[in-house]
Amino acid sequence: MKPVSLFLNLIRYLFKKMVSILPISLQTLGILIQMKILNWLPFVLLLAFLSACKPGEFKADLYTSDIEIARDGEVLDVPVSVSFSLLGNDDQGIFDRVVQIAKRSLSPDSTFSKSKAMMGERLVIDTKLPMGNKDSLKKYLDSNNRLAVFLVEEGKSSTSVSLVPTALVKTLSKQIQDINILLSLRLPPSKSLIRVSSDSRKPVEVSGIAVFVSKKPYLNYSKTLNRRDSVEIEFKGDSGSIYSEIYPILNIRN
């Protein structure tokens, strides 16, 4: 038997064994069968496994004055929005169970909303993440559970702001796997959109490496923001991108 055929047969066998615990409905399977693409289903499922519980999109708004305050030692809350997608209908109530677990690691005022997507369901979480320097965030996390933080670090010529996960991500991922062994929480997100708005009196330079702005790629991006100016920087976390291995980071100079 050829290696490719052996691989396909193995995947089909695993699919038959695991179908009862997959987050995909029988109705969706029926549609796939009618479309005569069942032979491709193993690859579709593998793709679904690889993206299971990986945030599809992350959005945040940062203000330059807040970054300066956080750099000097104060911890500020940054509103963020995170979206997840699930292949097929959530007949098993996976999202609802994940939400109940995730609430323990999010800000108390977090909100959750579910909606239908093209090939399944979508969950959007609106929450807040703390932003501060290394010392202030350490003290904050001693008494507050958060999955990620915005770490502000002062350098010789600029200040960096990076999105950094906490140790709770690994704990939550294990708890999610207890719900469904095919699921886990994986960071960084597939796409991170960070908007930087200037409310500083002096011009501020914002820069990033290997980013997209207005859907245009930049190896080295830099823009000077005057007061009330803003820019939205996109960090792609898909496979093959540098931000699939490291977390979004940008630099501020004034």
Q: Tens of pLDDT along 56-76?
A: 789 999 999 999 999 999 999
The answer to whether the beta carbons of residues 163 and 188 sit under 8 Å apart is yes
Q: How confident is the model at residue 15 (pLDDT cuts 50, 70, 90)?
A: very low
Section 18-26 average pLDDT: 44
**Residues 77, 32 share a domain:** no
Structural tokens at position 51:
């993206």
**Residues 159, 46 share a domain:** no
Tally of domains within the chain: 2
**Residues 89, 111 share a domain:** yes
**Residues 82, 47 share a domain:** no
**Containing structural domain, residue 15:** 3-51
**Residues 110, 36 share a domain:** no
Identify any residues that bridge with 174 across adjacent strands, giving them in sequence order. none
**Residues 64, 42 share a domain:** no
Measure the CA–CA gap between 151 and 46, rounded to whole angstroms. Answer: 34
**Residues 39, 77 share a domain:** no
Section 205-229 average pLDDT: 96
Measure the CA–CA gap between 184 and 177, rounded to whole angstroms. Answer: 6
Section 152-164 average pLDDT: 95
**Residues 121, 37 share a domain:** no
**Residues 73, 189 share a domain:** yes
pLDDT for the residue numbered 9: 55
**Residues 95, 79 share a domain:** yes
pLDDT for the residue numbered 238: 80
- State how beta strands 120-132 and 111-117 pair: antiparallel
Average pLDDT value over all residues in the chain = 81
Nearby residues of 64 by Cβ (< 8 Å), 6 or more positions away: 196, 197, 198, 199, 200, 204, 225, 252, 254
**Residues 240, 133 share a domain:** yes
Can you list the pairs that 167-176 forms with residues at least 24 positions away whose Cβ atoms lie under 8 Å? Answer: 168/105, 171/105, 172/101, 172/102, 172/105, 172/147, 173/53, 175/101, 176/53, 176/98, 176/101
**Residues 62, 47 share a domain:** no
Section 132-161 average pLDDT: 96
Identify any residues that bridge with 230 across adjacent strands, giving them in sequence order. 197
Q: How confident is the model at residue 190 (pLDDT cuts 50, 70, 90)?
A: confident
pLDDT above 90 as % of the chain: 50
